[in-house]
């Protein structure tokens, strides 16, 4: 709610100070540090296939979700090891209206296996 009343602003400032004393607020720079850490955690690994296609590999749950739900588009190819925990792999089709080369598909599939529990079997 917006108020031009200076008493409201003063009261708000007092509430903020009390919350700070109780440890309920953080320093102004804390969210920036957390955001930077979050960005690093969401940064998937990037590979370039022999054919020049970009292949992205998620190495944790956050990266997998980011790749699958936010990064990938309808023309991209998604790979994952079947019935086993592992990385999501996206082969980015940057507007290239052509079929995915077999060598690139094999490279991406190898990455999906390499970054899965199947690697240990």
DSSP string, 8-68: HHHHHHHHHHHHHHTT-S--TTHHHHHHHHHHHHH--EEEE-TTS-EEEE--SHHHHHIII
Number of domains forming the structure of the chain? 2
On the question of pLDDT at 1 being above 90, the answer is no
pLDDT value at residue 13: 73
Residues 87 and 120 in one domain: yes
Residues 38 and 61 in one domain: no
Residues 16 and 71 in one domain: no
pLDDT digits (tens, 9 = 90+) for 5-25: 556 777 777 777 777 777 776
Q: Which domain holds residue 19?
A: 7-42
Tell whether 24 is covered by a domain: yes
Residues 64 and 76 in one domain: yes
Q: Whole-angstrom Cα distance, residue 99 to residue 104?
A: 10
pLDDT value at residue 82: 86
On the question of pLDDT at 56 being above 80, the answer is yes
pLDDT digits (tens, 9 = 90+) for 65-118: 999 999 998 889 999 888 888 899 999 997 766 788 999 999 999 999 998 887
Residues 87 and 118 in one domain: yes
Residues 26 and 50 in one domain: no
pLDDT value at residue 120: 63
Residues 65 and 86 in one domain: yes
Q: In what order do the strands lie in the sheet with 89-92?
A: 45-48, 54-57, 89-92, 77-79
Residue 77 neighbours by CB under 8 Å, 6+ apart:
90, 91, 93, 100, 105, 108
Residues 20 and 66 in one domain: no
Residues 33 and 68 in one domain: no
Tell whether 1 is covered by a domain: no
Q: Whole-angstrom Cα distance, residue 103 to residue 115?
A: 18
Encoded tokens for 37: 């850490």
Residue 42 neighbours by CB under 8 Å, 6+ apart:
62, 63, 66
pLDDT value at residue 3: 47
Residues 56 and 101 in one domain: yes
């Amino acid at each position: 709610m917006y108020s031009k009343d200076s008493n409201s602003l003063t009261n708000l400032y007092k509430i903020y100070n009390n919350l700070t004393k109780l440890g309920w607020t953080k320093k102004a720079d804390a969210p920036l540090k957390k955001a930077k850490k979050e960005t690093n955690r969401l940064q998937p690994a990037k590979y370039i296939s022999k054919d020049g296609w970009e292949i992205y590999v998620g190495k944790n749950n956050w990266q997998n979700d980011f790749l699958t739900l936010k990064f990938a588009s309808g023309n991209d190819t998604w790979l994952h090891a079947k019935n086993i925990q592992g990385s999501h792999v996206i082969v980015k089709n940057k507007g290239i209206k052509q079929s995915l080369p077999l060598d690139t598909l094999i490279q991406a599939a190898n990455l999906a296996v390499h970054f899965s529990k199947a690697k240990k079997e």
